[in-house]
Structure 1
Amino acid sequence: MITMDQIIREGHPTLRKKAEELSFPLTDKEKETARQMLEFLQNSQDPELAEKYGLRPGIGLAANQIDVPKRMFALHIVDEGTEPVSFVIVNPKIASHSAAKAYLPGGEGCLSVDREVPGFVPRYAKVTIKGFTPEGEPIKRRLKGLSAIAFQHELDHLNGIMFYDHIDPDEPFRDYPDAEPLGEQ
């Protein structure tokens, strides 16, 4: 079981490296890593398990956040009032995206960042994503809202980009004319 002790924090060199593509079939170890990443997110959102194991709640976890520099991540978003999103994606890509952008009004957080980083992170409001399940089955989905933002956050991790790299250092809460706060589109 993955706990907060396995999640590397900002400053660790793996977080700034571009993760490697995986080839199929995945090894048993890679499949187990995928399973455990999704399990961590599910456990972190269960108040009893989160307290028992000292887990910070998360909706996304990239493999390189547990010091495995490979192109896969897990998303688990079930309380957004829309269709639940819960999967691991291998070799993820954005196939297309909306012109419109969105951001979280309260800013983004990250399991690898133990501090508040205020500011807006504009991202595409809708994305069509492609990739594979850990078993090698193709995935193609359209995501919007929080799930689209979370997908882009995790994809950034695989490219060595942290969410705060997108924040304007001089004006963190500046107005983005082409972006709406999530919930106001």
Structure 2
Amino acid sequence: MILMEHIVREGHPALRKVAEVVTFPLSEADRKLAEDLMNYVQNSQNELICDQYGLRPGIGLAAPQVDKSKKIFALHITEENREPLSIIAINPKIVSHSVEKTYLSAGEGCLSVDRDVEGYVPRYARITIKAFDLEGKEYKKRLKGLAAIAFQHELDHLNGVMFYDHIDKKSPFKEIPGAIPFERD
């Protein structure tokens, strides 16, 4: 079980490295890593488990965040009045995106960042993605809103990019042209 002590923090070299492509069939280690990432995000959304193990809530976790250079991440998002999204993404990529941008009006956070970083992080409002599941089967999905934002955040981790790299340093709350803010429930 992944605990907070297993999650590397900003400044750790794993967070700035481009992760390695995963080969199929998955090794037992890669399968376990993918399942452990999903277990963390699911467990971190359960108040009792959070309290018991001292977890910080999160909706996504990428392999580089646990010091594994693999193109794997897990997302688990349950929004009110929306279809839940629970995916393991192996070798994920964005195949198309909207011109329209969005950003979380409250800003983004990260399990690898122990401080509040204020500012708007521009993201594509809608994306079409391709990735592989645990069995090596490719799937394609269209994502929007929080799911699209979270996918882009985790994909950045696989490329050695932190969310705050996207924030305008001189003017963190500068309007993003053509962007519609996303309000989280």
Q: Structure 2 length as normaliser, TM-score?
A: 0.97
- What is the RMSD of the two structures over their aligned residues, measured on CA atoms? 1.0
Match of 2:120 in 1: 120
1:24-72 CA distance string (max 9 Å, x none): 0010111011001000001000000001000000000000000001001
Match of 1:182 in 2: 182
Match of 2:68 in 1: 68
CA deviation after TM superposition for structure 1 residue 79, in Å = 2.3
1:88-142 CA distance string (max 9 Å, x none): 1100000100110100000000000000000000100000000100210111000
For structure 1, the 5+ residue unaligned runs are none
Q: Partners of 1:66 and 1:183 in 2: how far apart?
A: 29
SS of equivalent residue, structure 1 residue 76:
strand
**Percent identity (aligned):** 59
CA deviation after TM superposition for structure 1 residue 81, in Å = 2.8
Match of 2:7 in 1: 7
1:137-180 CA distance string (max 9 Å, x none): 11100000000000000000000000000000100000112111
SS of equivalent residue, structure 2 residue 61:
strand
SS of equivalent residue, structure 2 residue 127:
strand
Letter matched to residue 137 of structure 1 = K
Q: Partners of 2:80 and 2:126 in 1: how far apart?
A: 15
Q: Partners of 2:37 and 2:81 in 1: how far apart?
A: 23
Match of 2:92 in 1: 92
Go from structure 1 to structure 2 and tell me whether the alpha carbon gap of 1:147 and 1:80 turns closer, same or farther (over 3 Å shift). Answer: farther
- Are residue 155 (structure 1) and residue 155 (structure 2) matched? yes
Go from structure 1 to structure 2 and tell me whether the alpha carbon gap of 1:90 and 1:5 turns closer, same or farther (over 3 Å shift). Answer: same
SS of equivalent residue, structure 1 residue 109:
coil
Q: How does 1:16-95 map onto structure 2 within 5 Å?
A: 16-95=16-95
CA deviation after TM superposition for structure 1 residue 80, in Å = 4.4
Q: Structure 1 length as normaliser, TM-score?
A: 0.97
SS of equivalent residue, structure 1 residue 33:
helix
For structure 2, the 5+ residue unaligned runs are none
Q: Partners of 1:41 and 1:146 in 2: how far apart?
A: 15
